[in-house]
Amino acid sequence: MGCSRPAVCGFTALFIMILGLGGCGSRSSNVPPSPQVPASISLIPASNLSLELGAQQSFGVTVRSSANTIIAIPVTLVSSNTAVLTIANNGVSCAGTWNSLVNPSVCTPGPTGVSVVTATAQGVTSPPTTVYVHQHIDNIAISPVNPITVPCFSQGQTALYQAAALSAGVDITSTVGPFLWSPANGTVLKLDNTLTTLLANQVQATAENPGQTTFEVSAAGVNSAPIQFETCPVQSISLAVTNTTDTSFTIAAGGSKAITATVLDSMGVTLNNPPLTWSTSNAGVATVSTTGTVSAVAAGAADIIASCTPPSCNTGFVPSLPVYPSQVIVANVSAPTTAPSVTTWVSTTQCQNLLGCTANIRSLVTSSAGATTFGVSAALPGSPNSFLFNPQGSAGFLGSQKSLMVLNPTANPPTVNNVTTVMGKVLAVSYDGTRVITSDTQSVPNQVFIYNSANTSVAPVNLPIEGASAAAFSLDGLKAYIVANPSSGSTLYVYSTVDSLKTYPLSGPATSLSASHSGAFMYLAGGNTVPTVSARIVCSNATADTVSTPGLATMLQTVPDGVHFLALDPPYIDEITATVTITPSVCSPAVSDTVSSTNLGQGSFTPLKMILSADGRQAFILSSDIGSVLVYNVAGRVTSSIPLVNNATPVSASATLDATLLFVGGSDGAVHVLNAVAGGDTQQIPFPTDLCNNVSFTCTPDLIAVRP
């Protein structure tokens, strides 16, 4: 039989010549020796060995020519101390004496000691492998060389540790030779036992990135118990525009600005290049690189933060210890002189539960001149019940009772991927645009799915949560907060990528969630016996502050200034101002909130949607019983309205990032294009047959999303 793996067979043939037997395939004894000349010989294993008395170890040899190709020639293995170590002709060594070198069967232990093994052929010798032969090791213990007087080690600090090997209670460390040191996480600490100042049983541990880990040592197949090591955790992060003390800036689309993060650990030491997570509150307005460079995309405002987010930072702490900055950087992007074109995608929920009805999704394109026309369309594999774009505009997520449909709006023609392992209504999309939360409240039992569109090979997370109605991700994506209001009682669920699922019973119904753009808090509307908005600490999930509102807020939005939130509880809109204090203690930020309420002047109404403009200056409020869109000016706290023509009432809406245009699905079956600057319902686009097929009525455009 011939060789199927040439490199391996070349190595085998080399060994066979040592034994004087056949190689990979038959070999005639009349074949003359190879004329090839060795240039180098390497012994395997090449590192020093630790063997117990009577143990066996196979040695391999690789011979290379001057052309660096593997060649097969006879090689001799030599032990410098045959009383301690003998080697048979097949390359198997005995920590003692073989009873036969040709056909060994019994290895008789000899004395302890050291032997140097080399491989030689045609005058070329391999680098040596030193073998330490010793008594059986019962256990290995690790201890610091000097007493440790600090709770943790700051980045770059070192500590010396030593190993002790015991046999029947006797210390045999001096006979064991070098030990193998292994960290559980090499990003938290670095181990080095090659320093000339160290003894053979010692290692230098150097603190690297913030976190906790363990390390252990082994010899002759025996492992020590692991020992704990802590690189001091991040305690505080402060941000500023590079070379300034500014915490905000204004640039034009296409420009960039660098941000500098100053990071202190729990010992007050400034860290060099810690593994921070950079996040933006609106990637459609401004993105941020892994090094803190902000790139302006479109008009609006975005909050930028750098956080110490596990598992890459503050690694290994249980529970996790995320740390967020003491302030955000507000990136204001100015509007271009020429308005960009806008693409709006429209679909309908009205095919649900109708036999034979098929839904479509259709785009509307608004030119820089302001005219809106029909664009491309795509058939949907199911009837959608919800529709959200990710902040990057690279994917649209349509929920349904049978699947999650993922729209690729950039494909030509656009494509829709049907994910049948996920179903339900889309509740939230992460700020980085990769993860989606859906809630299936119709199947029994109810379920919540968390789908990772960036890694589709990983199965979606499936959580048995009944009646989930709202969700939100923290800005860094570490946690997802989910509220459910089944008949059995309201509950807040906290899902984390590093911690177990947490459950917090609530004393009243909860309606909405919104993450603070500082990253440190998640705001919750409701959940109490009286109407409130409360702030939960993302690190610990504990309640940091609670403020009362005139009524139960049904919608909650974060203003992109790092300070304010808007809560809608008709007839009021509440402006919540947060004052954040980052305390010296890790995982204990503090916040103080105040509320100022404005009567919208519409009496009691049923809110349908609240849309906050990307610059945070205006909020658009839709109601199913008001034939206009309310416009709330955040700075002036005044309200105006834009009536819809044809006596239509709104059923859905979405705004452009610069908040100049609002696309409203109307009860009349048309999409109304509202000019939020000049005012007025400037264009009405009917959808007579475009949104659904095989039905006798006109489907209403009640799912609308402007692509960021």
Q: Which of 211, 231, 251 is the last residue of a domain?
A: 231
**Token pair for residue 390?**
């990710």
Residues 618 and 507 in one domain: no
pLDDT at 23: 30
pLDDT of the residue at 336: 84
- 215 and 249 together in one domain: no
Query: What CATH number has the domain bearing residue 497?
Result: 2.130.10.10
| Residue 426 included in any domain | no
Mean pLDDT (whole number) for 110-119: 96
- pLDDT-derived band at 358 (thresholds 50, 70, 90) equals confident
Task: Check residue 176 and report its DSSP letter.
Answer: H
Residue 512 pLDDT > 90, yes or no?
yes
Final residue of a structural domain among 231, 253, 278:
231
595 shares a domain with 492: yes
pLDDT higher than threshold 70 for residue 27: no
| Same domain, yes or no: 160 and 280 | no
Q: Are residues 116 and 224 in the same domain?
A: no
Please provide the average confidence, as pLDDT, over all residues in the chain.
91
Does residue 496 register a pLDDT over 50?
A: yes
Please give the angle made by the CA atoms of 318, 321 and 326, to the nearest 5 degrees: 170
Containing domain of residue 358, as a range? 339-379+608-708
Whole-number Cα distances in Å, 450 to 292, 394, 425, 463, 520: 28, 18, 12, 8, 22
Residues 294-299: what's their mean pLDDT? Answer: 96
Structurally, the chain folds into a number of domains equal to 5
Tell me, yes or no, whether 319 lies in a domain. no
Residues 612 and 600 in one domain: no
- Is pLDDT at 622 greater than 90 in this prediction? yes
| 375 pLDDT above the threshold of 50 | yes
The average pLDDT across 514-519 equals 96
Residue 408 domain-assigned? no
Q: Print burial letters for 473-484: b (CB count within 10 Å at least 16), e (below 16).
A: bbbbbbbbbbbb
Residue 79 reports pLDDT greater than 60: yes
pLDDT value for 172:
97
Q: What percent of the chain has pLDDT over 90?
A: 83
- Tell me what pLDDT residue 689 has: 64
In a domain, 1, yes or no: no
Please give the Cα distance from 611 to 656 (Å, whole number): 10
Counting beta carbons within 10 angstroms of the beta carbon of residue 90, is it exposed (0 to 12), middle (13 to 18) or buried (19 or more)? middle
Residues whose CB falls within 8 Å of the CB of residue 44, separated by 6 or more in sequence, listed in order: 59, 60, 61, 62
Residues 597 and 477 in one domain: yes
Which tens digit of pLDDT belongs to each residue from 203-227? 999 999 999 999 999 999 999 999 9
For 603, other C-beta atoms within 10 Å of its C-beta total 9
Asked whether 489 and 466 are in contact (CB, 8 A), the reply is no
The percent of residues above 70 in pLDDT, for the chain, comes to 94
17 and 128 part of one domain: yes
- Is residue 384 situated within a structural domain? no
Same-domain check for residues 187 and 278:
no
State yes or no: pLDDT of 582 exceeds 90.
Answer: no
Whether the predicted pLDDT of 400 surpasses 80: yes
Q: Is the pLDDT of residue 112 over 90?
A: yes
Is the per-residue pLDDT at 600 higher than 60? yes
**pTM as predicted:** 0.87
Q: Tell me, yes or no, whether 398 lies in a domain.
A: no
Average pLDDT over residues 513-526: 96
Residue 664 lies inside a defined structural domain of this protein: yes
Task: List the structure tokens of 152.
Answer: 């943790």
Alpha-carbon gap, residue 511 to 524, rounded angstroms: 8
Task: Show which of 215, 231, 247 is a domain's final residue.
Answer: 231
pLDDT at 694 over 80: no
Same domain, 121 and 146: no
Q: Would you place residue 569 in the very low, low, confident or very high pLDDT band (cuts 50, 70, 90)?
A: very high
User: What six digits make up the tokens of 596?
Assistant: 């100022």
Q: Is residue 622 part of a domain?
A: yes
- The predicted structure's pLDDT at residue 692: 83
Q: What is the CATH number of the domain that holds 660?
A: 2.40.128
In which band, very low, low, confident or very high, does the pLDDT at 695 lie, cut at 50, 70 and 90? confident
Judgement on whether residues 220 and 251 belong to the same structural domain of the protein: no
Q: Is the pLDDT of residue 639 over 70?
A: yes
User: Who wins on pLDDT, 677 or 644?
Assistant: 644
Tokens of 398: 């349509």
Q: Residue 104 in contact with residue 59, Cβ under 8 Å?
A: no
Rg of the chain (C-alpha set)? 34
Q: What is the 3-state secondary structure (H, E, C) of 24-71?
A: CECCCCCCCCCCCCCCEEEEECCCCEEEECCCEEECEEEEECCCCCEC
Q: What are residue 612's DSSP bridge partners?
A: 619
User: Same domain, yes or no, for 175 and 53?
Assistant: no
pLDDT of amino acid 10: 31
For residue 291, the domain's CATH number is 2.60.40.1080
Q: Which residue has the higher pLDDT, 637 or 369?
A: 637
Give 265-290 pLDDT, tens digit per residue. 999 999 999 999 999 999 999 999 99
In this prediction, residue 103 carries a pLDDT of 86
Cβ–Cβ < 8 Å for 546, 552 = no
pLDDT at 407 over 80: yes
